Amino acid sequence: MTFKEFMDKVTAKNPNEPEFLQAVKEVIETVWDAYESNPRFVKNNILERIVEPERTIIFRVPWMDDKGEVHVNRGYRVQFNSAIGPYKGGIRFHPSVNLSILKFLGFEQTFKNSLTTLPMGGGKGGSDFDARGRSDAEIMRFCQSFMAELYRYIGANLDVPAGDIGVGAREIGYFFGMYKKLANEFTGVMTGKGRTWGGSLIRPEATGFGVIYFVQEMLKTKGQTLKDKRVALSGFGNVAWGAAQKVTELGGKIVTISGPDGYIYDAAGFDAEKIEYMRELRASNNDRVKDFADKFPGAVFHAGKRPWGEKVDVAIPAATQNELDVNDAKALMANGVPCVCEAANMPCTPEAMEVFMKARILFAPGKAANAGGVATSGLEMTQNSMRLSWSSEEVDEKLHGIMRNIHEACVASGTEKDGYVNYVKGANIAGFLKVAEAMCDQGIV
Ligand code: 2IT
Protein backbone atom coordinates (compact mmCIF):
# COMPACT_ATOMS: atom_id res chain seq x y z
CA MET A 1 0.00 0.00 0.00
CA THR A 2 1.24 3.51 -0.79
CA PHE A 3 0.67 6.47 1.49
CA LYS A 4 -1.84 7.85 -0.99
CA GLU A 5 -3.78 4.57 -1.07
CA PHE A 6 -3.81 4.54 2.70
CA MET A 7 -5.11 8.11 2.92
CA ASP A 8 -7.76 7.44 0.25
CA LYS A 9 -9.03 4.53 2.32
CA VAL A 10 -9.11 6.51 5.56
CA THR A 11 -10.81 9.41 3.75
CA ALA A 12 -13.50 7.13 2.30
CA LYS A 13 -14.10 5.62 5.72
CA ASN A 14 -14.34 8.95 7.52
CA PRO A 15 -16.12 11.39 5.22
CA ASN A 16 -16.97 14.83 6.57
CA GLU A 17 -14.21 14.66 9.18
CA PRO A 18 -11.70 17.24 7.91
CA GLU A 19 -9.93 17.87 11.22
CA PHE A 20 -9.53 14.16 11.88
CA LEU A 21 -8.15 13.53 8.39
CA GLN A 22 -5.78 16.49 8.76
CA ALA A 23 -4.37 15.06 11.99
CA VAL A 24 -4.07 11.55 10.53
CA LYS A 25 -2.31 12.79 7.42
CA GLU A 26 0.24 14.77 9.40
CA VAL A 27 1.14 11.86 11.69
CA ILE A 28 1.09 9.01 9.19
CA GLU A 29 3.05 10.95 6.57
CA THR A 30 5.91 11.44 9.00
CA VAL A 31 5.93 7.89 10.43
CA TRP A 32 5.44 6.19 7.04
CA ASP A 33 9.09 5.16 6.55
CA ALA A 34 9.46 3.95 10.15
CA TYR A 35 6.29 1.90 9.65
CA GLU A 36 7.13 0.43 6.26
CA SER A 37 10.60 -0.65 7.34
CA ASN A 38 9.22 -2.60 10.30
CA PRO A 39 7.80 -5.97 9.16
CA ARG A 40 6.14 -6.56 12.53
CA PHE A 41 4.14 -3.33 12.25
CA VAL A 42 3.10 -4.15 8.68
CA LYS A 43 2.15 -7.74 9.53
CA ASN A 44 -0.07 -6.47 12.35
CA ASN A 45 -1.62 -3.80 10.09
CA ILE A 46 -0.89 -1.25 12.82
CA LEU A 47 -1.63 1.77 10.65
CA GLU A 48 -5.20 0.89 9.84
CA ARG A 49 -5.82 -0.15 13.42
CA ILE A 50 -4.25 2.95 14.99
CA VAL A 51 -6.51 5.37 13.09
CA GLU A 52 -9.69 3.63 14.26
CA PRO A 53 -10.91 4.61 17.76
CA GLU A 54 -11.36 1.59 20.02
CA ARG A 55 -14.76 2.89 21.07
CA THR A 56 -16.88 6.00 20.50
CA ILE A 57 -19.77 6.90 22.77
CA ILE A 58 -22.34 9.49 21.67
CA PHE A 59 -25.18 10.45 23.98
CA ARG A 60 -28.04 12.85 24.63
CA VAL A 61 -27.52 15.56 27.23
CA PRO A 62 -30.86 17.13 28.22
CA TRP A 63 -30.90 20.00 30.72
CA MET A 64 -33.12 22.77 32.02
CA ASP A 65 -32.12 26.44 32.00
CA ASP A 66 -32.93 28.94 34.76
CA LYS A 67 -36.17 29.93 33.07
CA GLY A 68 -37.43 26.35 32.99
CA GLU A 69 -36.79 25.83 29.29
CA VAL A 70 -35.48 22.41 28.28
CA HIS A 71 -32.43 22.10 25.98
CA VAL A 72 -30.65 19.17 24.40
CA ASN A 73 -26.95 18.96 23.57
CA ARG A 74 -24.87 16.10 22.24
CA GLY A 75 -22.22 14.47 24.42
CA TYR A 76 -19.24 12.41 23.24
CA ARG A 77 -16.36 10.35 24.52
CA VAL A 78 -13.88 8.99 22.00
CA GLN A 79 -11.82 6.22 23.61
CA PHE A 80 -9.10 6.19 21.02
CA ASN A 81 -6.30 3.95 22.16
CA SER A 82 -5.52 2.02 25.35
CA ALA A 83 -2.32 0.24 24.27
CA ILE A 84 -0.14 1.88 26.91
CA GLY A 85 -2.63 2.80 29.62
CA PRO A 86 -6.21 3.82 30.46
CA TYR A 87 -7.80 6.29 28.05
CA LYS A 88 -6.76 9.79 29.11
CA GLY A 89 -7.69 13.19 27.76
CA GLY A 90 -9.82 16.24 28.27
CA ILE A 91 -13.46 17.16 27.87
CA ARG A 92 -14.18 20.15 25.61
CA PHE A 93 -17.32 22.28 25.82
CA HIS A 94 -17.63 24.54 22.80
CA PRO A 95 -20.35 25.08 20.17
CA SER A 96 -17.89 23.92 17.46
CA VAL A 97 -17.50 20.45 19.02
CA ASN A 98 -18.34 17.55 16.68
CA LEU A 99 -17.13 14.02 16.06
CA SER A 100 -14.37 15.09 13.64
CA ILE A 101 -12.85 17.49 16.16
CA LEU A 102 -13.00 15.00 19.03
CA LYS A 103 -11.52 12.23 16.89
CA PHE A 104 -8.63 14.49 15.85
CA LEU A 105 -8.07 15.41 19.49
CA GLY A 106 -8.25 11.79 20.69
CA PHE A 107 -5.86 10.69 17.96
CA GLU A 108 -3.36 13.45 18.82
CA GLN A 109 -3.75 12.71 22.51
CA THR A 110 -2.65 9.09 21.96
CA PHE A 111 0.79 10.17 20.70
CA LYS A 112 1.10 13.10 23.09
CA ASN A 113 0.45 10.86 26.06
CA SER A 114 2.97 8.36 24.73
CA LEU A 115 5.58 11.15 24.59
CA THR A 116 5.10 11.95 28.28
CA THR A 117 6.52 8.46 29.08
CA LEU A 118 3.67 7.98 31.58
CA PRO A 119 1.25 5.03 31.23
CA MET A 120 -1.71 6.79 29.59
CA GLY A 121 -3.72 5.86 26.52
CA GLY A 122 -5.55 8.46 24.43
CA GLY A 123 -9.11 9.75 24.60
CA LYS A 124 -11.14 12.91 24.28
CA GLY A 125 -14.70 13.96 24.91
CA GLY A 126 -16.99 16.90 25.05
CA SER A 127 -20.15 18.57 23.95
CA ASP A 128 -21.39 21.34 21.67
CA PHE A 129 -22.66 23.12 24.80
CA ASP A 130 -22.20 26.91 24.71
CA ALA A 131 -21.42 28.20 28.20
CA ARG A 132 -21.49 31.86 27.17
CA GLY A 133 -23.91 33.79 29.36
CA ARG A 134 -24.93 30.69 31.32
CA SER A 135 -25.33 30.92 35.09
CA ASP A 136 -23.41 28.81 37.52
CA ALA A 137 -26.56 26.78 38.26
CA GLU A 138 -27.06 26.08 34.56
CA ILE A 139 -23.46 24.96 34.18
CA MET A 140 -23.87 22.66 37.17
CA ARG A 141 -27.03 21.06 35.80
CA PHE A 142 -25.42 20.60 32.41
CA CYS A 143 -22.31 18.95 33.89
CA GLN A 144 -24.49 16.69 36.03
CA SER A 145 -26.59 15.60 33.06
CA PHE A 146 -23.43 14.98 31.01
CA MET A 147 -21.94 12.83 33.78
CA ALA A 148 -25.22 10.98 34.41
CA GLU A 149 -24.49 9.22 31.13
CA LEU A 150 -20.70 9.33 30.92
CA TYR A 151 -20.13 7.70 34.33
CA ARG A 152 -20.94 4.25 32.89
CA TYR A 153 -17.92 4.40 30.60
CA ILE A 154 -15.15 5.87 32.73
CA GLY A 155 -13.12 4.81 35.79
CA ALA A 156 -9.75 5.35 37.46
CA ASN A 157 -8.31 2.31 35.61
CA LEU A 158 -10.44 2.64 32.49
CA ASP A 159 -10.78 6.23 31.28
CA VAL A 160 -9.75 9.35 33.17
CA PRO A 161 -11.12 12.62 31.71
CA ALA A 162 -9.86 16.12 32.51
CA GLY A 163 -10.49 19.67 31.28
CA ASP A 164 -10.01 21.29 27.89
CA ILE A 165 -11.55 24.39 26.27
CA GLY A 166 -14.62 25.41 28.30
CA VAL A 167 -13.97 22.90 31.07
CA GLY A 168 -11.98 24.07 34.09
CA ALA A 169 -11.85 23.49 37.82
CA ARG A 170 -15.53 24.37 38.30
CA GLU A 171 -16.81 21.88 35.73
CA ILE A 172 -14.42 19.16 36.94
CA GLY A 173 -15.87 19.67 40.42
CA TYR A 174 -19.44 19.20 39.19
CA PHE A 175 -18.45 16.15 37.11
CA PHE A 176 -16.62 14.58 40.00
CA GLY A 177 -19.45 15.17 42.47
CA MET A 178 -21.95 13.52 40.15
CA TYR A 179 -19.63 10.62 39.32
CA LYS A 180 -19.03 9.96 43.01
CA LYS A 181 -22.76 9.95 43.72
CA LEU A 182 -23.60 7.56 40.88
CA ALA A 183 -20.63 5.20 41.17
CA ASN A 184 -20.75 5.34 44.96
CA GLU A 185 -16.98 5.56 45.29
CA PHE A 186 -14.28 8.20 45.66
CA THR A 187 -11.55 7.43 43.13
CA GLY A 188 -9.12 9.30 40.90
CA VAL A 189 -11.56 9.16 37.99
CA MET A 190 -10.79 12.70 36.82
CA THR A 191 -7.77 14.99 36.88
CA GLY A 192 -7.66 18.72 37.36
CA LYS A 193 -9.50 18.26 40.66
CA GLY A 194 -9.49 20.84 43.45
CA ARG A 195 -6.37 20.76 45.58
CA THR A 196 -8.25 19.85 48.75
CA TRP A 197 -9.84 16.76 47.21
CA GLY A 198 -7.12 15.00 45.25
CA GLY A 199 -6.01 17.58 42.70
CA SER A 200 -2.33 18.01 41.95
CA LEU A 201 -0.57 21.26 42.72
CA ILE A 202 0.66 23.00 39.54
CA ARG A 203 -1.96 21.23 37.34
CA PRO A 204 -3.69 24.54 36.42
CA GLU A 205 -0.37 26.07 35.35
CA ALA A 206 1.17 22.91 33.93
CA THR A 207 0.24 23.15 30.24
CA GLY A 208 1.53 26.72 29.94
CA PHE A 209 4.61 26.06 32.08
CA GLY A 210 5.41 22.98 30.01
CA VAL A 211 5.11 24.92 26.75
CA ILE A 212 7.60 27.48 27.99
CA TYR A 213 10.00 24.81 29.29
CA PHE A 214 9.87 23.38 25.77
CA VAL A 215 10.54 26.81 24.22
CA GLN A 216 13.51 27.18 26.56
CA GLU A 217 14.93 23.87 25.33
CA MET A 218 14.45 24.87 21.68
CA LEU A 219 16.12 28.25 22.22
CA LYS A 220 18.95 26.54 24.08
CA THR A 221 19.88 24.65 20.89
CA LYS A 222 20.65 28.11 19.43
CA GLY A 223 22.43 29.31 22.55
CA GLN A 224 19.55 31.61 23.48
CA THR A 225 17.20 32.24 26.42
CA LEU A 226 13.80 33.87 26.87
CA LYS A 227 15.27 36.91 28.62
CA ASP A 228 14.02 40.13 26.95
CA LYS A 229 12.29 38.16 24.17
CA ARG A 230 8.96 39.55 22.92
CA VAL A 231 6.37 36.81 22.94
CA ALA A 232 3.02 36.82 21.10
CA LEU A 233 0.36 34.59 22.62
CA SER A 234 -3.05 33.92 21.17
CA GLY A 235 -5.97 32.93 23.33
CA PHE A 236 -6.52 34.04 26.92
CA GLY A 237 -7.48 30.76 28.56
CA ASN A 238 -5.75 28.38 30.89
CA VAL A 239 -2.83 27.57 28.58
CA ALA A 240 -2.06 31.21 27.69
CA TRP A 241 -2.34 32.12 31.37
CA GLY A 242 0.25 29.55 32.47
CA ALA A 243 2.57 30.47 29.60
CA ALA A 244 2.28 34.20 30.42
CA GLN A 245 3.31 33.52 34.01
CA LYS A 246 6.37 31.51 33.07
CA VAL A 247 7.56 33.84 30.30
CA THR A 248 7.26 36.80 32.65
CA GLU A 249 9.10 34.94 35.41
CA LEU A 250 11.94 34.16 32.99
CA GLY A 251 12.36 37.81 31.97
CA GLY A 252 10.51 37.64 28.64
CA LYS A 253 7.77 40.02 27.59
CA ILE A 254 4.23 38.94 26.71
CA VAL A 255 2.99 41.51 24.19
CA THR A 256 -0.24 39.94 22.90
CA ILE A 257 -3.24 37.83 23.89
CA SER A 258 -6.37 37.30 21.81
CA GLY A 259 -10.01 36.24 21.85
CA PRO A 260 -12.77 35.66 19.31
CA ASP A 261 -13.29 39.46 19.26
CA GLY A 262 -9.71 40.43 18.33
CA TYR A 263 -6.32 40.83 19.97
CA ILE A 264 -4.56 43.02 22.51
CA TYR A 265 -1.11 44.51 21.93
CA ASP A 266 0.63 45.68 25.05
CA ALA A 267 4.15 46.98 24.42
CA ALA A 268 4.87 47.20 28.15
CA GLY A 269 4.52 43.45 28.60
CA PHE A 270 2.50 41.65 31.27
CA ASP A 271 2.94 41.85 35.03
CA ALA A 272 1.30 39.91 37.84
CA GLU A 273 -1.80 42.13 37.80
CA LYS A 274 -2.41 41.63 34.07
CA ILE A 275 -1.83 37.89 34.37
CA GLU A 276 -4.35 37.73 37.20
CA TYR A 277 -6.80 39.71 35.09
CA MET A 278 -6.57 37.03 32.38
CA ARG A 279 -8.13 34.70 34.92
CA GLU A 280 -10.96 37.13 35.59
CA LEU A 281 -11.60 37.49 31.87
CA ARG A 282 -11.94 33.74 31.55
CA ALA A 283 -14.19 33.46 34.59
CA SER A 284 -16.45 36.17 33.16
CA ASN A 285 -17.68 33.66 30.56
CA ASN A 286 -18.05 36.31 27.86
CA ASP A 287 -15.25 35.24 25.47
CA ARG A 288 -13.95 38.77 24.95
CA VAL A 289 -10.51 40.38 25.38
CA LYS A 290 -11.53 43.96 24.59
CA ASP A 291 -12.16 44.47 28.32
CA PHE A 292 -8.40 44.11 28.84
CA ALA A 293 -7.71 47.29 26.86
CA ASP A 294 -10.45 49.11 28.74
CA LYS A 295 -8.83 48.21 32.03
CA PHE A 296 -5.15 48.73 31.18
CA PRO A 297 -4.33 51.99 29.37
CA GLY A 298 -1.41 51.35 27.03
CA ALA A 299 -2.91 48.07 25.86
CA VAL A 300 -4.35 48.48 22.36
CA PHE A 301 -7.31 46.43 21.14
CA HIS A 302 -7.36 45.38 17.47
CA ALA A 303 -10.89 44.30 16.62
CA GLY A 304 -11.42 41.16 14.53
CA LYS A 305 -7.69 40.53 13.97
CA ARG A 306 -5.14 37.92 14.97
CA PRO A 307 -1.85 38.86 16.64
CA TRP A 308 0.46 37.34 14.01
CA GLY A 309 1.17 40.60 12.20
CA GLU A 310 3.20 41.87 15.17
CA LYS A 311 6.99 41.68 15.16
CA VAL A 312 8.00 39.26 17.91
CA ASP A 313 10.76 36.80 18.82
CA VAL A 314 8.49 33.90 19.75
CA ALA A 315 4.93 33.20 18.53
CA ILE A 316 2.79 30.87 20.63
CA PRO A 317 -0.67 29.98 19.27
CA ALA A 318 -2.55 28.92 22.40
CA ALA A 319 -6.21 29.20 21.38
CA THR A 320 -7.61 26.42 19.18
CA GLN A 321 -7.21 24.27 16.05
CA ASN A 322 -6.38 25.90 12.71
CA GLU A 323 -6.19 29.40 14.19
CA LEU A 324 -2.95 30.25 12.36
CA ASP A 325 -3.14 29.93 8.57
CA VAL A 326 -0.69 30.32 5.72
CA ASN A 327 -1.14 34.10 5.54
CA ASP A 328 -0.45 34.43 9.25
CA ALA A 329 2.64 32.25 8.81
CA LYS A 330 3.88 34.45 5.97
CA ALA A 331 3.26 37.58 8.05
CA LEU A 332 5.31 36.11 10.91
CA MET A 333 8.11 35.16 8.51
CA ALA A 334 8.07 38.61 6.90
CA ASN A 335 8.84 39.94 10.36
CA GLY A 336 11.60 37.35 10.75
CA VAL A 337 10.16 35.33 13.64
CA PRO A 338 12.77 32.69 14.61
CA CYS A 339 10.58 30.48 16.83
CA VAL A 340 6.95 29.29 16.72
CA CYS A 341 5.66 26.92 19.38
CA GLU A 342 2.19 25.40 19.24
CA ALA A 343 0.50 25.50 22.65
CA ALA A 344 -3.03 24.62 21.50
CA ASN A 345 -3.82 21.33 19.73
CA MET A 346 -3.09 21.63 15.99
CA PRO A 347 -3.35 25.46 15.89
CA CYS A 348 -1.33 25.77 12.68
CA THR A 349 -2.81 24.69 9.36
CA PRO A 350 -0.69 22.23 7.31
CA GLU A 351 0.15 25.04 4.87
CA ALA A 352 1.32 27.29 7.71
CA MET A 353 3.50 24.51 9.12
CA GLU A 354 5.06 24.04 5.73
CA VAL A 355 6.03 27.74 5.60
CA PHE A 356 7.79 27.48 8.97
CA MET A 357 9.61 24.26 8.22
CA LYS A 358 10.72 25.38 4.76
CA ALA A 359 12.18 28.49 6.38
CA ARG A 360 13.92 26.13 8.83
CA ILE A 361 12.93 28.09 11.92
CA LEU A 362 12.36 26.48 15.30
CA PHE A 363 8.86 25.04 15.10
CA ALA A 364 7.29 22.76 17.71
CA PRO A 365 4.03 20.84 17.36
CA GLY A 366 1.43 20.94 20.12
CA LYS A 367 1.57 17.24 20.85
CA ALA A 368 5.15 17.71 22.10
CA ALA A 369 5.07 21.24 23.48
CA ASN A 370 1.71 21.14 25.28
CA ALA A 371 2.16 17.65 26.75
CA GLY A 372 2.98 19.12 30.16
CA GLY A 373 -0.72 19.45 30.97
CA VAL A 374 -1.58 15.82 30.53
CA ALA A 375 1.79 14.80 31.99
CA THR A 376 0.82 16.58 35.19
CA SER A 377 -2.55 14.84 34.99
CA GLY A 378 -0.53 11.62 34.94
CA LEU A 379 1.30 12.81 38.05
CA GLU A 380 -2.09 13.53 39.65
CA MET A 381 -3.14 9.95 38.91
CA THR A 382 0.04 8.67 40.54
CA GLN A 383 -0.55 10.77 43.66
CA ASN A 384 -4.18 9.56 43.84
CA SER A 385 -3.06 5.93 43.56
CA MET A 386 -0.58 6.44 46.39
CA ARG A 387 -3.11 8.47 48.41
CA LEU A 388 -0.67 11.28 49.04
CA SER A 389 0.19 14.61 47.51
CA TRP A 390 3.47 16.09 46.36
CA SER A 391 4.63 19.67 46.93
CA SER A 392 4.54 22.22 44.09
CA GLU A 393 8.31 22.01 43.83
CA GLU A 394 8.21 18.25 43.44
CA VAL A 395 5.53 18.37 40.74
CA ASP A 396 7.20 21.24 38.90
CA GLU A 397 10.55 19.46 38.92
CA LYS A 398 9.00 16.30 37.48
CA LEU A 399 7.12 18.34 34.86
CA HIS A 400 10.31 20.13 33.88
CA GLY A 401 12.15 16.80 33.55
CA ILE A 402 9.38 15.38 31.37
CA MET A 403 9.45 18.40 29.03
CA ARG A 404 13.25 18.12 28.69
CA ASN A 405 12.89 14.42 27.85
CA ILE A 406 10.23 15.12 25.23
CA HIS A 407 12.50 17.71 23.64
CA GLU A 408 15.34 15.19 23.61
CA ALA A 409 13.11 12.54 22.05
CA CYS A 410 12.12 15.00 19.29
CA VAL A 411 15.76 15.81 18.58
CA ALA A 412 16.70 12.11 18.56
CA SER A 413 13.94 11.10 16.12
CA GLY A 414 13.59 14.33 14.16
CA THR A 415 17.10 15.55 13.26
CA GLU A 416 17.49 15.67 9.49
CA LYS A 417 20.63 15.20 7.38
CA ASP A 418 21.40 18.92 7.33
CA GLY A 419 21.12 19.09 11.13
CA TYR A 420 17.69 20.80 11.14
CA VAL A 421 15.47 19.45 13.90
CA ASN A 422 12.07 18.58 12.46
CA TYR A 423 10.15 18.55 15.74
CA VAL A 424 6.94 17.48 13.98
CA LYS A 425 8.53 14.35 12.61
CA GLY A 426 10.48 13.72 15.82
CA ALA A 427 7.37 13.93 18.02
CA ASN A 428 5.27 11.78 15.71
CA ILE A 429 7.87 9.03 15.37
CA ALA A 430 8.75 8.93 19.07
CA GLY A 431 5.08 8.92 20.10
CA PHE A 432 4.05 6.40 17.46
CA LEU A 433 6.74 3.75 18.00
CA LYS A 434 5.82 3.11 21.61
CA VAL A 435 2.10 2.74 20.90
CA ALA A 436 2.74 0.57 17.83
CA GLU A 437 5.09 -1.76 19.73
CA ALA A 438 2.56 -2.12 22.56
CA MET A 439 -0.20 -2.94 20.07
CA CYS A 440 1.95 -5.62 18.45
CA ASP A 441 2.81 -7.13 21.85
CA GLN A 442 -0.86 -7.35 22.81
CA GLY A 443 -2.07 -9.21 19.73
CA ILE A 444 -4.99 -8.50 17.43
CA VAL A 445 -7.44 -6.87 19.83
O1 2IT B 1 -5.15 18.57 25.30
C2 2IT B 1 -4.79 18.13 26.41
O3 2IT B 1 -3.72 17.54 26.56
C4 2IT B 1 -5.69 18.33 27.55
N5 2IT B 1 -6.75 18.93 27.38
C6 2IT B 1 -5.35 17.80 28.91
C7 2IT B 1 -5.77 16.38 29.03
C8 2IT B 1 -5.59 15.78 30.40
O9 2IT B 1 -6.03 14.64 30.55
O10 2IT B 1 -5.02 16.40 31.29
- Residue 303: inside a domain: yes
The verdict on 137 and 218 lying in the same domain is no
Q: Are residues 177 and 235 in the same domain?
A: no
CATH code where residue 294 lies = 3.40.50.720
Cβ 124 under 6 angstroms from ligand 1? no
Q: Which of 207, 376, 399 to mutate to test the pocket of ligand 1 (most atoms within 8 A of CB)?
A: 207
**Is position 412 within any domain?**
no
Does the beta carbon of 168 sit less than 6 angstroms from any atom of ligand 1? no
Burial, 243: exposed, middle or buried (Cβ in 10 Å; 0-12, 13-18, 19+)? buried
- Interatomic CA distance for residues 431 and 27, integer angstroms: 10
Burial (CB < 10 A; 0-12, 13-18, 19+), residue 241, is buried
3-state secondary structure of 387: coil
pLDDT at 158: 98
Strand intervals (E) in 48-95: 55-64, 70-81, 87-93
Q: Which of 159, 186, 213 is the last residue of a domain?
A: 186
- Whether residues 224 and 353 share a domain: the answer is yes
Q: Is the pLDDT of residue 3 over 90?
A: yes
Average pLDDT over residues 150-177: 98
Domain residues for the domain of 21 are 3-186
pLDDT recorded at residue 10? 98
Per-residue pLDDT tens for 195-243?
999 999 999 999 999 999 999 999 999 999 999 999 999 999 999 999 9
In a domain, 288, yes or no: yes
Average pLDDT over residues 157-174: 98
Tell me, using a 6 A CB cutoff, whether residue 377 lines ligand 1. yes
pLDDT at 285 over 90: no
Judge if 154 and 27 occupy the same domain.
yes
Looking at the structure, tell me whether residues 20 and 150 fall in a common domain. yes
CATH code of 19's domain: 3.40.50.10860
Average pLDDT, the chain: 98
Predicted pLDDT at 286: 86
Q: Which residue, of 360, 380, 401, is where some domain finishes?
A: 360
Does the pLDDT value for residue 284 go beyond 90? no
Per cent of the chain over pLDDT 70 is 100
Q: Quote the CA–CA distance of 16 and 429 in Å, as a whole number.
A: 27
347 and 314, same structural domain? yes
Is there a domain that residue 391 lies in? no
Is 18 part of any domain? yes
Residues 230 and 330 grouped into a single domain = yes
Is the same domain home to 167 and 247?
Answer: no
Same domain? For 87 and 176 the reply is: yes
Ligand 1: does its nearest atom lie under 6 Å from the Cβ of 19?
no
Has residue 284 been placed in a domain? yes
Query: What is the total count of domains within the chain?
Result: 2
For residue 81, tell me if it sits in a domain: yes
**Mean pLDDT score, 146-157:** 98
- Calpha distance 72→62 (Å, rounded): 4
Ligand 1 centre distance from Cα of residue 109 (Å): 8
Q: Establish if 419 belongs to a structural domain.
A: no
* pLDDT, tens digit, 9 for 90 and up, residues 359-395: 999 999 999 999 999 999 999 999 999 999 999 999 9
Q: Is ligand 1 within 6 A of the CB of residue 88?
A: yes
Is the domain of 218 the same as that of 134?
no
By most ligand atoms within 8 Å of CB, the mutation choice from 367, 374, 379 for ligand 1 is 374
Q: Which atom of ligand 1 is nearest to the CA of 203?
A: 10
pTM: 0.98
